[in-house]
Amino acid sequence: MKPLITFDDIGIEFDGRDLLSHINMAIHEGEIVTLIGPNGSGKSTLIRTLLGLQTPTSGRVIHHDKTRIGYMPQKLHVDPTLPLNVMDFLSLVRNVNKSQIPGVLAKIGIEKLAKKQVHFLSGGETQRVLLARALLNNPNLLVLDEPVQGVDVNGQVELYNLISTIRDELKCGVLMVSHDLHLVMAKTDTVVCINQHVCCSGTPQHVTGHPAYQALFGVPGAAESIAIYSHHHDHVHDENGDVFLTDTIEAGKMDTHVHGKNCHH
């Protein structure tokens, strides 16, 4: 796979404090890289550096093979008093050919949203519109900052599947920032865990087993040892509302032909 972006020993210092130190990593064509780390670990700073919005104190960002970046921010900020539908919003992208927009909307599966006002969009719809916006200039590298922000679990799974499908169709690289570790791991080729520096990197299986990852996020599967409450109905109600234990029924101590009612607790 050809490299699209290389971070060559990136360091960023601000007010005497290291925000990033000795960051070395690359994103390749056709590869999904997920960047993880605790709050304040430097993920946003690294993304700003990639986009050219932050100048590194040391090191350099190398763009290979005429890299074209499509960026998806965490959130959409539009003044609710501004009448702006999805088609008009996407038309604001610099150098976009308006005739491209319907095809991109169809690729994302949101062509029916073209005339909908952006401030009436649901969380999932908003994220899909932002993803469509990132695709408009035919990028070969997608940079997705928390792409499932504000989306329910089912919607998150759908979005991650969609991102994977887009990668397969366009053969583009994807750099994704995420806190949703368990869901995103299944759709990731490489995970890079940072906390001002690169703590560990590799396949999801390698990273989740690494002591540095476990120190930051805990041991995978630990949540499974926590008991989950499950309500077991050990009784029924007869037509008069009287309660009978199921053990009593099984012992033959009452008429099992009593019509039980649904129990709601």
Which comes out higher in pLDDT, residue 181 or 69?
Answer: 69
pLDDT at 240: 46
Q: Taking residues 105-110, what's their average pLDDT?
A: 94
Q: What percent of the chain has pLDDT over 90?
A: 57
141, 179: one domain: yes
Is the confidence at residue 256, as pLDDT, over 70? no
pLDDT of residue 174: 97
Question: pLDDT category, 220, cuts 50, 70, 90?
Answer: low
Co-location of 89 and 173 in the same domain: yes
Distances (CA, A) of 132 to 114, 143, 168, 188, 249: 11, 13, 16, 20, 60
Q: Rounded distance, CA 28 to CA 59, Å?
A: 19
Q: What is the pLDDT of residue 228?
A: 31
Which of 15-19, 21-25, 120-124, 247-251 has the weakest average pLDDT? 247-251
Q: Show the tokens assigned to 16.
A: 């005497």
Residue 82 phi, psi (nearest 5): -90, 115
pLDDT (mean) for 210-218: 88
The pLDDT of residue 76: 81
Q: Do 248 and 126 share a structural domain?
A: no
Comparing CA positions, the residue from 87, 31, 90 lying closest to residue 64 is 31
Tens-digit pLDDT profile for residues 42-83:
999 999 999 999 999 999 999 987 899 999 998 888 777 788
Residues 124-176 have pLDDT tens digits of 999 999 999 999 988 999 999 999 888 888 888 899 999 999 999 999 999 99
Residues 258 and 201 in one domain: no
Domain carrying residue 155: 3-222
Whether residue 254 is found in the same domain as residue 125 = no
Same domain, 158 and 80: yes
Shared-domain flag, residues 216 and 237: no
- Mean pLDDT across the chain, nearest whole number? 83
Q: Are 36 and 145 within one domain?
A: yes
